[in-house]
Amino acid sequence: MSKNKLLFLSLMLLIGSASCKKQLDVGNPNSPTLVSDVTNEASLAAFAQGAVYVDGFQQSNAYNWLGNGYFSLNYSYSELLGDMVGSTDANEIVNTINIPYYVILDNSTKYTSNGGANNEAQATQLRVGNTRASTAAGYNPLYYQWCDMYLLNGSCNTILAEIPTVKSLSADAVSTIQAWAYFWKGYAYSVIGSQYTAGLISDVAGATNGNYLIKDSIIAASNANFSKASSILGGISSGSADYTRVIGELIPTTYQGTPHGGIPTPTVWIHNINTMLARNILVNKLSPFVNGSLSATISKASIPVMTQSDWQNVLSLATSGIQTGDAVFTATSDPVNSLYPTKDGNITLMAAGPNSDLVFQPGLRLTQNFNAGDQRLALDFTAGPADTFYNDYFSTVYSLINTSNGSSTVYNYSDQDIGAYELFFAGSWEENTLMMAEANIMLGNTDAGLTLVDAERNYQGAGVAATAGTGLTQAQAYNQLVRERRVALFGRGLSFWDSRRWGWIYDITQGGGSYGNKLLYLPSTGASVMNVNATFDYNFMDYWDIPADEVILNPPSKGTASVVTNPNY
Amino acid sequence: MLVTMGLHAQMTQITGKVTDATGTPIPAATIRLKNGKGGTSADLQGNFTLKAPPNAVLLISGIGYETKEVKLGSSATIAIQLSTDSRSLSEVVVTGVGVATSKKKLGISVEAVTASQLPATPTASIDQALIGKIPGAQISSVSGNPGDPVNILLRGINSIQGGTMPLIMLDGIQLRTTDLNSLDLSTIERVEVVQGAASAALYGAQGANGVIQLFSKKGRKGPLAINFSTSYSANQYINSGHVNKAQLHPYATDANNNIIDGSGNPDTLNYAGVYPYVAYTYGGAARSGIENPLNINNKPYNANLKWYDHFKEVFQTGSTLNNSINFSGAGDKADYAFGVSNNHTVSPVMKNGYVDRTNLTSNVGVELFKGFKLRSTTQIIYTRNTMVPGLGGPQYNGYGYGNQPGGVGNIFSWLNTPAFYQLNAKLSDGTYPAKQVSGNYLGANAFNPFYVQEYVIGTDNRVDVVQDFDADYKLSKFVELDAKYGINYRSEGDQVTYLNQSLNVNSSTYFAGGTYSGWYAPDNTGEIDKFQYNNTFQNFLANAYIRTDWEKDFHSKLPITTSTQVGFDWRKTRYTEFDTYGLGLPLAPPINVTATSAQGVIEDYVEPFVTYGYLVNQVIDFGDYGGIAGGFRSDFSSAFGEGSKAFTFPHANAYFTPSGFKSWEDGIGNTLSFVKVRAAYGQAGIQPGAFQRYPVINQGDLGQNLTYSIPSTSNNPNLGVEVSTEKEIGTDLSISAAKQGQWLNQINISATYWERKSKNVIWTVNTAPSQGITGELTNAITLHSDGYQVQLNLPVYKAKNFSWDFTINYGHQISVLDKIQGETQILLTSNGGTSQVLQAGYKIGQISGYKALTSLDATNQEGVPYIAKADYGNYTMVNGRVVDTARHYIQFTNETYPIGDGNPKFTASFINGFNYKGMLSLSFQFDWIYGSHLYNQTKEWMYRDGIHQDFAKNVTISGRTAQFTSYWSSAYYDDGSGNGNDAARDYFYESSSFLRLRNLSLGFDAASILKISGIKRLQLVLTGRNIWTKTKYSGMDPEMTVGSPNSSWDRTVDQSTIPNIKSYQVGLNVGF
């Protein structure tokens, strides 16, 4: 009898198991998958949009917590190393990464933080911090930009891999999404090749390789991807409804209505690409301009000096670059689900407001570049005792205004109101115009260059006297260009590359240094002293080493180990 | 059943009845003649008959009761009452063995605690009461925030992501959605604990972290009994390190010692409640002044600015009021117990809110027909929590999973407020300032908790239902069928309102609207966040037990009994969460979501989970000599990787009892009355996360657009269960030191050594970013743990009117990481920023950091000296560390080292109980944690602005003694070697060993004196909890050993964790 009962029980258990097994594949009802949800144009576009904006620029790496996302940290490093802003916060060493090797005060005394010998060279600090442990602790600046850009590149690889799996796409839709992926791959390689001494070319979704290549090859890869995008775009007819629809699905709706954003036509997009191609040349060659001298030389740098043909190439690319009224790639903050928080999505937003409560303070080496009467300084900044902030080399007397400057014509560096500040991902009309101006000046067309500088100043509502036709020498003209580039492009992530190519970040013994600077010096006793002719020896590493997180987890394949660190430091 | 023995003519027939203290019969009690052969056992009603010579002495014993000697008198009928045996070896346990088994016949270690051994804790929660009671287990209260869970680490660590929380069961059914600390302590009869895979193998994929099983009280035979209890306690946070802020300062002053502003005038508070300019005497109003070697922290706050005791302002005296009433009784065929209780706890943090919990319980059993019993146990719990989020209140996503600590981010946000600010000073309009900062640098990270209390409102309402049904059918003497079904439901709604703060001049004007309280809001105009959590869990268990007794059933000569369990176990969970926000609140009522200017959905989430398994367990006992058991369990789970294949967990154990042999009994048995050795082996698991096997893409919104993106770390379709394989060996002994005396007549010792290996431990291993992701989830890690535990339990003294019981619990355990797939080191950062690592060869909890140089010739790991010989003159030794004489900076390495793991060398508890005539009772428990360490991150943060009291301490550098700010601050700030401010440094790694008077309780029962009819108990109890601590730890509480409760790795860092409370309680217990 008990046997029967046991049999009965066993049978019940078997039935139970059969019915249970079906329950086990619960799936994840909360999240989509590539296989089941990226199946048509709209969902592929939704993926292509997120792959770029979210993976590349939002919260792509877990350690990024200063501000929020790509710009608040990576653009900040550029502005810190370009000596545009200072910080007292220790997060991601934003308070020490920019400490100069030493400074010579107006009274010719040497000033270092430790009161004695030179401060630690930045290369030493970066290398001490280039460990995976340091990354985890948030003290490895080399990690972030590398990580963000390779996540962007990886996601673009996945976009390209997904396109053939979606059957219902029109030819122009395929082209548009391909151009999108190649463009952002070009962008990622551009950033990597301009910032790091070497990189990897990784064009297979979900895979990588250990074949580290020096930066020139990465810039070449950037150019190749941009060119691919360009030629695909060239094959799309200008009136293609498919193109217009798809690009409208790729660029977030909000950004289509910003002052400089919108939907680029294929031609306008090619203009944007040309500007980036010009930038790839310009920021990766030297154009030494130390102590006001165009004949300065840098004895030991990772890059050669611009040649006349380089300037010609920059001029011709920029000439076919972003034109007046062209839509460019920008973003603004949204009231909800914003790409970046309206108060700290970018360096200028984080530097805006009363100095007392800020991560970054706008520095004197930024403001000293404004010509007298510049409306951008008058309307966007306040100065005075309440704006005085003491921080070693980075003490300042300015605050950046955190709301509208009240003018419809004067450029606004920062506006923390929702949707008010426009952030530039890639090239802008100003950058393109100033590249043309610079190339003209360096090719001997001084006045043509100055005319463009003046045009750019007018565009931003500077309200200063024109420089063209005032008989400036080439060096004086270049000085105007340099000053204008520093103020016009503040907050767009270019300042470090500019300081590098002008030779300022190199050690004085190698011909570098930055002369004639303002510095509010606070002695250990007594009142502060405003210096106006301080010499900064930054001695920064010109191209960064590869972060340990990459090198250790992806060891260099045979023969490529030597390129992962900058050989000049 | 009567076992007849050789009969004598002189024998007389005795009939008797064996009952417990309440009159409930003890079935199957054993009755033996002391000095002769013969004996019997009682029937189901406790009755027995026995033939015995005149004046014989009977030994009556029952499982779970103390053996009693009765000398026969002239009467032919006797009534025998046995008292329950609180000591370990006679108990009957079910956890880990499936069927009720005497601890004498266990091959595994099972710890049990009865209700009478659990202290009355202020929160009336079981988890609190268990602290120190289980040998080997590290159960510790790591937060005194009302409602927070305790940390439970049984034997070692098995999982990194899964934490250390064991499986919690109530009457055989898993308690999954209701927090352990929500149950009403007064309804719990006993608690059993099995600590690892060897003993928890029956629980398969749920069992690796061990099991804590609770048994609820049943009605006892007899008329209606009513018990009423009430208690009140006053609660304060422990500050055993006397942490406070420096009462001296280094700031620039005038001749009258007034702190001066930039123009040299005495500072005054401005309209926003701020002293805008405070400067160091040297170096001005800059953060860097603190590192200036000229600044001395030696000026008293005796002029315009005063010193305020912020600890006193914030940490007040909270309270707890407990009331409970229980009704119970039983007849022949049915029993019942009903209870109502309420616990109301007011937070000691500025009395900012309360947790109010009401429990309705019932436990009803009925025997429907012979052998068929039904039982229903129910707990309905209503909890209302009004504590402010940030000041201890429930906080945000995932809170509904349960066992979550409250949000405490603002409780310590004033640690960095300069001591010259009064936190509760109001602005002219009667509101509080948000931020009290000076000179743009002092207090830059501060935030005022009074501001939070003023502008933030939290209300969390929760209903828990725990319903278990049990049907048990004894089909025959061989077969018993048992089915259990339990449903555990939790529904919780949480609303957080951040009021519009735009009229506050500190927030709006002084900080331009950039400083405010909020969560999703981008500005200070307020928001309402609503969180709705539902969690439903069902558990169905079907078991068949087949028992045989060869002697009785098959008339075999072999004293073999067998028990076979065949079981099926099914569990299903469904968790849902729906969260919304509304941004922008009006300044005037109505303050509701309709009045907000923008609304959004934060989360709309559902998480299903199903698992089920089969179990076979065979037990064979050989009389009193020993036994073996073995079997396996196979589990399926929706969380197991591709194909959802079953995973099978085997187990086997055996015990040998030499004292069961007759020869032993007569010899060494006189002193060593019971000896058992046991060994067990078993496997158990921890389930992966519900969705970790599903590769997905992220769905999100970008402005008005829906986007998909690739998660930066990837899931793994082949993920397997985490498996823990454990071996344990142990012994249980009873020593009768002085058999007849009043002192030490029995000493019970249980000791167990265990070791285990945890494989397939899940973690995200880092990948090279160029792959397009930063990490991959996988079964990456192998760990091993070992340890031992000892319980010594002795009735020190026992006389008619007075007894003294003493228990020592002692345990040691370590968990070491053996291997990580593809990596040498996994990097973690705890909430506080302290670097923690998982590194092969090191213990879990390892902290990585910089070491202070302790000799001038110190070298780095490559052997390069830090200081050139020529420069030795520039350095000196201060407190054992190298300090540079010019700047006073402590010198640290520029490479990180493993600086410690914090794990204690042992944990021990000493529990004493004294009882006089059942009327007066005194008990106390000391807990001793030895060899533990904490990283004092809280102190490190207080070093940032020179706020910690250490800054007022003298230090002698190169013959000069003063309170150098540069010396103290160098422990916090980067000295230029690039290791960053606030980096982990061994300077802040401290011993946190402690000895704590966990509990001191004095009870006086007046019922026996007053003899009021109908009142069985009238007891006044005075209890002190955590009232004394001996430690060298300089933080508030050395017990704050975890960053987040039940985390495997976020331990050993004191990161503004909320200290435990010390409390004084008065209680009254009345029984009718």
Residue A441: strand, helix, or coil: helix
Decide if B833 and A138 are in contact by the 8 Å CB cutoff.
yes
Note whether A20 contacts B: Cβ–Cβ < 8 A.
Answer: yes
Give dist(CA B354, CA B318) in Å, integer: 9
Q: Is the dihedral of CA B425, B429, B434, B437 positive or negative?
A: negative
Residues 6+ away with beta carbon under 8 Å from A326: A264, A268, A271, A272, A429
- How close B560 gets to chain A, by Cα (Å)? 20
Decide if B978 and A128 are in contact by the 8 Å CB cutoff.
yes
A14 pLDDT band, cuts 50/70/90, is: low
Residues 6+ away with beta carbon under 8 Å from B996: B926, B927, B928, B929, B1026, B1028, B1029, B1030, B1039
Note whether A112 contacts B: Cβ–Cβ < 8 A.
Answer: no
3-state helix, strand, coil in chain B (%, to 5): 10, 50, 40
User: Above 80 in pLDDT, residue B20?
Assistant: no
Q: Is the dihedral of CA B732, B737, B740, B746 positive or negative?
A: negative
pLDDT in tens, A330-385: 999 998 888 988 888 899 999 998 776 688 999 999 999 999 999 999 999 999 77
Q: Which of A539-548, B151-160, B279-288, B783-792 has the lowest mean pLDDT?
A: B279-288
pLDDT score, position A139: 82
Residues 6+ away with beta carbon under 8 Å from B620: B560, B561, B562, B627, B628, B629
B316 pLDDT band, cuts 50/70/90, is: very high
Write out chain A residues lying below 8 Å of B609, CB-based.
26
Residues 496-535 of B with CB under 8 A from A: 510-512, 514-515, 522
B2 pLDDT band, cuts 50/70/90, is: very low
H helices of A470-557, in order, are: 474-488, 495-501, 548-553
- B983 versus A547: which is more confidently predicted? A547
Note whether A155 contacts B: Cβ–Cβ < 8 A.
Answer: yes
CA atoms lying within 13 Å on the CB side of residue B758 = 35
Give dist(CA B395, CA B391) in Å, integer: 10
> Of A17, A115, A147, which has the smallest distance from its Cβ to B774's Cβ?
A147
Residues 698-757 of B with CB under 8 A from A: 698-710, 712-713
pLDDT score, position A423: 94
> Of A33, A207, A339, which has the smallest distance from its Cβ to B697's Cβ?
A33
Note whether A408 contacts B: Cβ–Cβ < 8 A.
Answer: no
- How close A241 gets to chain B, by Cα (Å)? 20
Note whether A18 contacts B: Cβ–Cβ < 8 A.
Answer: no
User: Above 60 in pLDDT, residue B8?
Assistant: no
What average pLDDT does range A495-506 have in this prediction? 98
Note whether B694 contacts A: Cβ–Cβ < 8 A.
Answer: yes
User: Above 90 in pLDDT, residue B758?
Assistant: yes
Whole-angstrom CA distances from B77 to A353, A527, B9, B15 are 95, 105, 19, 5
Decide if B827 and A119 are in contact by the 8 Å CB cutoff.
no
Decide if A357 and B598 are in contact by the 8 Å CB cutoff.
no
3-state helix, strand, coil in chain A (%, to 5): 45, 10, 45
**Cα–Cα nearest to A391, from A157, A180, A98:** A98
Tokens 């053939």 belong to residue: A164
Residue in chain B lying closest to A359 (CA):
B444
For the record, the structure tokens of B152 come out as 């439970």
pLDDT score, position A234: 97
User: Above 50 in pLDDT, residue B42?
Assistant: yes
- How close B998 gets to chain A, by Cα (Å)? 37
What average pLDDT does range B834-859 have in this prediction? 87
Note whether B695 contacts A: Cβ–Cβ < 8 A.
Answer: yes
- A546 versus B1048: which is more confidently predicted? A546
Write out chain B residues lying below 8 Å of A17, CB-based.
612, 614, 636
Give dist(CA B157, CA B757) in Å, integer: 10
Decide if A253 and B704 are in contact by the 8 Å CB cutoff.
yes
pLDDT in tens, B488-546: 999 999 999 999 999 999 999 888 888 999 998 888 999 999 999 999 999 999 999 99
Give dist(CA B995, CA B988) in Å, integer: 21
Note whether B294 contacts A: Cβ–Cβ < 8 A.
Answer: yes
> Of B512, B708, B829, which has the smallest distance from its Cβ to A38's Cβ?
B708
Decide if B827 and A136 are in contact by the 8 Å CB cutoff.
yes
Write out chain B residues lying below 8 Å of A395, CB-based.
286
pLDDT in tens, B1037-1054: 998 876 777 888 888 888
Decide if A550 and B479 are in contact by the 8 Å CB cutoff.
no
> Of A20, A55, A128, which has the smallest distance from its Cβ to B570's Cβ?
A20
- The answer to whether the CB of B155 falls within 8 A of the CB of B137 is yes
- The answer to whether the CB of B71 falls within 8 A of the CB of B55 is yes
Chain A to chain B Cβ contacts (< 8 Å): 317
CA torsion B286→B288→B293→B296, rounded to 10°?
50
Write out chain A residues lying below 8 Å of B709, CB-based.
47, 50-51, 54-55, 155
- A19 versus A277: which is more confidently predicted? A277
User: Above 70 in pLDDT, residue A3?
Assistant: no
Write out chain A residues lying below 8 Å of B833, CB-based.
137-138
Write out chain A residues lying below 8 Å of B979, CB-based.
128-129, 139
pLDDT score, position B514: 81
Decide if A158 and B772 are in contact by the 8 Å CB cutoff.
yes
B781 pLDDT band, cuts 50/70/90, is: very high
> Of B282, B285, B979, which has the smallest distance from its Cβ to A525's Cβ?
B282
Q: Which of A1-5, B486-490, B909-913 has the lowest mean pLDDT?
A: A1-5
pLDDT score, position A5: 52
Provide the greatest CA pair distance for chain A: 116
Q: Can you spell out the DSSP letters for B264-296?
A: SSBP---TTS------BTTTBSBGGGGG-TT-B
- How close B489 gets to chain A, by Cα (Å)? 20
Interhelix angle for A41-57 vs A142-162, to 10°?
Answer: 170
- The answer to whether the CB of B752 falls within 8 A of the CB of B676 is no
Whole-angstrom CA distances from B44 to A528, B59, B724 are 96, 19, 42
Whole-angstrom CA distances from A365 to A54, A105, A361 are 33, 14, 11
pLDDT score, position A292: 96
DSSP class of residue A352 equals B
Decide if B606 and A150 are in contact by the 8 Å CB cutoff.
no
B115 pLDDT band, cuts 50/70/90, is: confident
pLDDT score, position B977: 64
Give dist(CA B952, CA B411) in Å, integer: 24
Q: Is the dihedral of CA B1006, B1011, B1013, B1014 positive or negative?
A: positive
The b-or-e profile of A461-471 (16+ CB within 10 A means b, else e) is bbbbeebbeee
pLDDT score, position B1022: 94
- How close A225 gets to chain B, by Cα (Å)? 17
What average pLDDT does range B381-409 have in this prediction? 92
CA torsion B235→B240→B243→B247, rounded to 10°?
100
Please give the angle made by the CA atoms of B165, B935 and A128, to the nearest 5 degrees: 115
Q: Where are the beta strands (DSSP E) in A210-282?
A: 213-214
Decide if B694 and A61 are in contact by the 8 Å CB cutoff.
no
Residue A543: strand, helix, or coil: coil
Q: Name the pairing type of β-strands B825-829 and B835-839.
A: antiparallel
Q: Which of A396-410, B245-259, B592-606, B974-988 has the lowest mean pLDDT?
A: B974-988
Q: Name the pairing type of β-strands B334-346 and B248-249.
A: unpaired
Q: Can you spell out the DSSP letters for B1027-1049?
A: EEEEE---SS-TT--BSSTT-SS
> Of A23, A128, A336, which has the smallest distance from its Cβ to B638's Cβ?
A23
- The answer to whether the CB of A411 falls within 8 A of the CB of A424 is no
Note whether A33 contacts B: Cβ–Cβ < 8 A.
Answer: yes
A213 pLDDT band, cuts 50/70/90, is: very high
- B1056 versus B246: which is more confidently predicted? B246
**Cα–Cα nearest to B136, from B792, B1037, B1053:** B792
- How close A30 gets to chain B, by Cα (Å)? 6
User: Above 60 in pLDDT, residue A9?
Assistant: no
> Of B515, B566, B609, which has the smallest distance from its Cβ to A26's Cβ?
B609
When scoring A24, A70, A159 by the number of chain B Cβ atoms within 10 A, the one with the most, hence best to mutate, is: A24
pLDDT score, position B6: 41
pLDDT score, position B129: 85
User: Above 90 in pLDDT, residue A103?
Assistant: yes
pLDDT score, position A1: 42
Residues 440-459 of A with CB under 8 A from B: none
B344 exposed, middle or buried (CB, 10 Å; 0-12, 13-18, 19+)? middle
Write out chain A residues lying below 8 Å of B823, CB-based.
553
User: pTM of the predicted model, to two decimals?
Assistant: 0.86
AA identity, residue B1 = M
Q: What are the helix and strand counts (H, E) for chain A?
A: 21, 12
Decide if A34 and B610 are in contact by the 8 Å CB cutoff.
no
Q: Rank B96-105, B239-248, B826-835 by mean pLDDT and report only the highest.
A: B239-248
Is the ipTM here above 0.85?
Answer: yes
Mean pLDDT of all residues in chain B?
89
Give dist(CA A127, CA A97) in Å, integer: 11
User: Above 90 in pLDDT, residue B978?
Assistant: no
- Phi, psi angles (nearest 5°) of residue A513: 110, 160
Write out chain A residues lying below 8 Å of B980, CB-based.
90, 93, 96, 129, 137-139
Note whether A93 contacts B: Cβ–Cβ < 8 A.
Answer: yes
CB atoms within 10 A of CB B645: 12
Decide if B636 and A20 are in contact by the 8 Å CB cutoff.
yes
- How close A458 gets to chain B, by Cα (Å)? 31
Whole-angstrom CA distances from B587 to B449, B499, B521, B527, B986 are 21, 8, 15, 12, 50
Note whether A525 contacts B: Cβ–Cβ < 8 A.
Answer: yes
Q: Is the dihedral of CA A214, A219, A222, A224 positive or negative?
A: negative
pLDDT score, position A293: 97
